[in-house]
Each structure stands twice: as C-alpha cells, then as structure tokens.
Amino acid sequence: MTISPQLRRASYVMAWLSTVGAVLGPALLVACFAFPDGTRAMDIHLGHYGGYLTAAVPLGDRLFALVFALIPTLIASWGLIALAGLFRCFVAGQVFTVQSLRALSHVTMALFWNVIAAFVAEAPITYFLTNHLGHGHREISLTLGSDDVQVLFVAGVAYVIARVMAEARRLAEENEGFV
C-alpha cells in the first residue's frame, strides 16, 4: 500500500517520539525516586502516590517502592516500543500486514496491563513510601480513577479495532484465493 509522503513523515516522527518516550519514562521515574525533591520542579505525574514521595522517605524504602513503580512503567515502555514498530510499519507502507496488526495488538495489551499493574502496584508503593512514618501512620492505598477507566475503555476499543482489521485481512486473503 502506498501512503502519502506527509503520512510517512508523521509516522517517522511518531516512531521516533515513541522510542524516546520508551526510554525517557523509566529514566525519569528512577530520577524521581532517587532525587524526589530535586525533580519536583519538573512536575512529573507519578500516579496516585506522587504526594508521598519526598526526600524524607529513607532511600531503602524509596528503592523498594521504585521496584513496584517500574512494573507499570516498563509495561508502558513496551507499549511505546510496539507503537514505534507500528509507525515504522506505516513508514514502510505496511498498513494491514501481520506485523502492523501484531504491533497494534501489543499497544492495546500494554494499555490494558499498564492500568492493571499500576492499580495493583499502588498498594506496596504507598506502603513503602509511608513505612518510615511508623505504626498507625503507614498507608496502603488502591485507587482506580476515571482516567484509568477511560484508558481501559480506549484499550478495549483499540483491541476490537485491531481484531476487526485482522479479520478483514484474513477475509481478503481468503477471497484472493478464490479468484
């Protein structure tokens, strides 16, 4: 399939930005946990536990919390790498190929699993970030916000679209066999 030069350029830029985001996300997260007060000026959204992350939290507790925070972040990075692959398929003119549909499916899975992992990881993260406060002041929280529900909905919609596109591809190949 031939795509326009403008769409090819836009896909190239988006592939590049997705790759940068896949690397930058985990790096910024590590920086925020290592230097929480120093990175606060960057105003990076750290989910539902960002208010707990300060330099007052002992480094050991911050590192334990970081391990759990990295799980959804690495899932998001995997999704961004899949998205970059999808855009590279578009650059190559591969719109309805097995590779592009697989990449789109991986993006949808990453969206879904990122929300689930962030929800589950929030409990140990908030525990470790409040552990230094002592008995009666530690917190364990689980939060599922409307933004999380929206991402789950988008993931579901994108998954169904990817499956419809895969089915259309299968039917087209089947019809080609009859001619």
> From residue 155, how far is each of 51, 86, 122, 138 by CA, in Å?
28, 16, 21, 34
Counted domains in the chain:
1
Read off the pLDDT of residues 37-95 as tens digits, 9 standing for 90 and up: 877 767 676 666 767 888 899 999 999 999 999 999 999 999 999 999 999 999 999 98
Read off the pLDDT of residues 161-170 as tens digits, 9 standing for 90 and up: 988 988 888 8
Q: At what angle do helices 146-178 and 98-130 cross, to 10 degrees?
A: 160
**pTM of the predicted protein model:** 0.87
Token representation of residue 116 = 């689930």
For residue 133, give the DSSP letter.
G
Q: Domain range holding 117?
A: 5-178
Long-range Cβ contacts of 35-38 (<8 Å, 24+ apart): 36/62
